[in-house]
Amino acid sequence: KNQVEQSPQSLIILEGKNCTLQCNYTVSPFSNLRWYKQDTGRGPVSLTIMTFSENTKSNGRYTATLDADTKQSSLHITASQLSDSASYICVVSGVLNTGNQFYFGTGTSLTVIP
Amino acid sequence: DVKVTQSSRYLVKRTGEKVFLECVQDMDHENMFWYRQDPGLGLRLIYFSYDVKMKEKGDIPEGYSVSREKKERFSLILESASTNQTSMYLCASIPGLAGRFNEQFFGPGTRLTVL
């Protein structure tokens, strides 16, 4: 069964600290993995995309990793800011003849406190 | 700048009412999606459409219908709203099959409360 699991469910950190969010998946065949940030009351916005051949990709203070062999991805946030408080959703795309099929994790709720 | 808009940010309806949620995208995308998002369950696909007048059921289509009369507009219809349809509804769009790595663009969401 194609699944995406994220951990932890929620996280509270102090401003300025680093944190790492995890995403494990069983989706096959695999096309790509995206990390989305969803602010409260807003729609998700893509932070980064990881394809099969990519191990690490950075977007400012966000760094995503992908291990396609173990089917694990992580999102590392450096020097957290209050504006990083949001839900982070891992979305894995599987490949179908008709296009991509999207599998959503349930998200990690991050709260950054001063 | 890409944009997906939804007709309402907040909506309160009574049980049994017919509810229309509208989504419009200005990117000429072929594919459009309706999801609902509930705490602990993540996003679940209700319906999607890959072309005008075409629709496919997602994982949880019961109690919902959709309409796509124009490429830019995808409507979600609750024929007879029930309290268990209280949720956040998100619309998304993506280009056609040409790009496997295309990004889904999401609207801001409609928080629907059914009393």
For B:24-83, CB contacts with A below 8 A are 31, 40-45, 50
A25 vs A5: CA distance, rounded Å: 6
Question: Mean pLDDT of all residues in chain B?
Answer: 92
On whether the CB atoms of residues A57 and A48 are closer than 8 A, the answer is yes
Q: Of A29, A37, A71, give the one whose Cα is nearest residue B100.
A: A29
A37 vs A89: CA distance, rounded Å: 6
Touching check for B100 and chain A: CB below 8 Å? Answer: yes
pLDDT digits (tens, 9 = 90+) for B23-75: 999 989 989 999 999 998 989 999 999 889 999 999 999 999 999 999 999 99
Q: What is the sign, positive or negative, of the torsion defined by CA atoms of A51, A57, A62, A63?
A: positive
For range A61-73, the mean pLDDT: 95
Q: Of A67, A105, A66, A113, give the one whose Cα is nearest residue A88.
A: A105
Work out the burial of residue B77: count CB atoms within 10 Å of its CB; fewer than 13 is exposed, 13-18 middle, 19 or more buried: middle
Closest-approach residue (CA) in chain A for B91: A43
Closest-approach residue (CA) in chain B for A52: B101
